[in-house]
Amino acid sequence: MTELILVRHGETDWNRELRFQGQVDVPLNATGHEQARRLAGRLAAERVAVDHLASSDLVRARQTAAPLLGQLLPALSIETLTDPGLREQSFGLVDGLRVPDIQRDHAEAWARWLRFEPDGGMPGGETARQFHARVMDALQRLAQAQPGRTVVVVTHGGVLDMVWRTAQGLGLAGPRRSSIPNAALNRVRLSEGGGIDILQWADTRHLEGLPAQPVYDQTRLAAASGAQA
């Protein structure tokens, strides 16, 4: 089994504005850089034996990976370790928009989004089923290339949601049910057959004292929409 240390990228200004970042290349803000430094410092202080690192090719993930490489794997280069398969879900036409913008300009798409159907997606974007298949393929390829090793994977909130759902056997329908903070520590074991066991999830002890994180709460958004209907 391959152990994955899964990391959602550090905070961006668009996280704070609760925008759909999707696959837009948004850099970390000052808090995000500090979150990344603290995570790297924690893993180094705990002498976590890391054999390899893989990252989404989007800049917010690469910037989060940089201090991890510096502390844990200084001989490696981020340019050789990126995988587009680890990108966030594509939201098509609404990439970069805030929820009120989507509600105003894409009301029908927003209503479909809140039904959380596996084959539903934003116009021009990926469905949940397509996204899940891409993520699982990327992780399986990584596990096959690094059997029995410990790999840090720097990626995105949606990717971690797909991992959580798979591990818990939840399926793809319904709102997100797991906590996925920026730069938290998440550990799973991935078997050759695709099974996932969660060892640790949403550990943010190294982020103590930093500003409270913005939370994209799908359940709350769905409830609010129902109340307004």
Which residues are known binding-site members? 8-15, 60
Query: Catalytic pick from 3, 34, 88, 126?
Result: 88
Tokens 């690094």 locate to 146
Question: And the tokens for 206?
Answer: 């190294």
Is there a contact between 133 and 57 (Cβ–Cβ < 8 Å)? no
DSSP assigned state of 30: H
Antiparallel, parallel or unpaired: β 150-155 and 52-55: parallel
Write out the two tokens for 39.
């995570």
Distance, CA of 210 to CA of 35 (rounded, Å) = 8
The answer to whether the CB of 91 falls within 8 A of the CB of 102 is no
CB burial class (10 A; 0-12, 13-18, 19+) of residue 79? Answer: exposed
Q: Which of 3, 9, 33, 106 is catalytic?
A: 9
Residue 132 annotated among the catalytic residues of the structure? no
Based on the residue annotation, tell me whether 9 is a catalytic residue of this protein: yes
**DSSP run (H or E) holding 3:** strand 2-8
- Residues with catalytic annotation? 9, 88
